[in-house]
Amino acid sequence: MPKYDVKRPVKIDGDIHKPGCKPLKLAAKAAAPLVESGSLAEIVAQSDDNKEQDPKSGAQTGNTAKK
């Protein structure tokens, strides 16, 4: 099930979710009208192929530049 960031307050199953709350897990079909309206934005997970390790901190970066 995809995850979504809340961009504008939405009411889902009786609960109000506001921007800054934890990502929501919703079925793509249920989320589609909310994404289209701009209330939600799908979180796209990066594959390990697109991640590089920062040489100083050892942290994963999202660098997608071609080598």
Three-state DSSP string of 5-67: EECCCEEECCEEECCCCCCEECCHHHHHHHHHHCCEEECCCCCHHHCEECCCCCCEECCCCCC
Tokens of 60: 């994963």
Residue 40 in domain: yes
Is residue 16 one of the residues assigned to a domain? yes
**54 domain residue, yes or no:** no
pLDDT at position 8 is 97
User: What whole-number percentage of the chain has pLDDT above 90?
Assistant: 63
- Range of 2's domain? 1-44
Does residue 12 sit within a domain?
yes
Dist CA 63 CA 11 (whole Å): 35
Q: Provide the pLDDT confidence category of residue 61 given band limits of 50, 70 and 90.
A: low
Residue 58 covered by a domain: no
Instruction: Please give the model's pTM, rounded to 2 decimal places.
Output: 0.64
Is 19 within the bounds of a domain?
yes
Question: Considering its fold, how many domains does the chain have in total?
Answer: 1
Q: Is residue 32 part of a domain?
A: yes
